[in-house]
Amino acid sequence: MKVASLAIIVVAVVALVIVGVFAAIYLTTYNNIVNLEASADAQWANVDVQLQRRYDLIPNVVAAARQYITYEGSILENITRLRSQWAAAEQTGNVNEINNATGQLEAEIPKFIITIEAYPDLKASQVVEDLIVELEGTENRISTERLRYNDAARDFNVAIKAFPGNLFAAGWGFTQKAYFEAKVGAIEPPQVP
């Protein structure tokens, strides 16, 4: 009688401890993943702010440069077209499309800056120089915030792939976050007229 009740108590305590430990792991894992997702999303918003800043800036640079650039007008057309393409991709909200459009725009901007710097008249213009400084500053901001987004996304992705997150993540409805990378392959060949 005494031994039996002792056994029951021991079994009950062990069961309670196991359930408690499991619940603790379950809850802390959930909270951890939620926090990581929130910081990745917040960092994505920071990237988006800078992409928007670039979108707003490009027409000013193009307008200022148009007065001087005469025979290489295609670069201005290209940049304007890729800017619109980016905006269209942004509307869809599809990360892959945004990545693709951003990569193409990103590949064109250094060419654009080099072209402008090759024009002595343009370089001498204070307005154009200031706009170029702003454009370069924006590009730097984008790459900085993007590195941080990738770090945050990596932390999140590891958390849902590694134990114990991998046991529950699918059930909670978490999916891998896409990394944000410039697509080197997306650079278009230079157009020969």
CA distance 184 to 102: 11
Cβ proximity to other proteins: between 23 and 133 the closer is 133
Task: List, in sequence order, the alpha helices (H) in 1-125.
Answer: 2-66, 73-92, 95-117, 120-124
C-beta closer to other proteins: residue 75 or 142: 142
Residue 149 and residue 184: Cα distance in Å, rounded? 19
CB-wise, 121 or 136, nearer to other proteins?
A: 136
Which is closer to other proteins, CB of 142 or CB of 160? 142
CB of 58 to other proteins, least distance (A): 15
Using CB under 8 A, pick the residue from 137, 166, 170, 172 that binds other proteins.
137
Least distance in angstroms from the C-beta of 191 to other proteins? 29
DSSP secondary structure letters along 153-187: HHHHHHHHHSTTHHHHHHHHT--PPPP----GGGP
Q: Tell me how far the alpha carbon of residue 112 is from its chain's centroid.
A: 23
For 169-176, the CB contacts below 8 A with 24+ separation are 169/33, 172/30, 172/33, 174/33, 174/37
Smallest gap from residue 36 Cβ to other proteins (A): 16
| Residues in region 12-31 near other proteins by CB under 8 A | none
- Radius of gyration, CA atoms only, the chain: 26
Which of 121, 151, 181, 188 is close enough to bind other proteins by CB under 8 A? 151
Q: Which run of H or of E encompasses 143?
A: helix 126-161
Q: Which of 119, 143, 164, 187 binds other proteins (CB under 8 A)?
A: 143
Work out which of 84, 94, 140, 166 binds other proteins, going by CB under 8 A: 140
Binding site for other proteins (CB under 8 A): 46, 129-130, 133-134, 136-137, 140-145, 148, 151
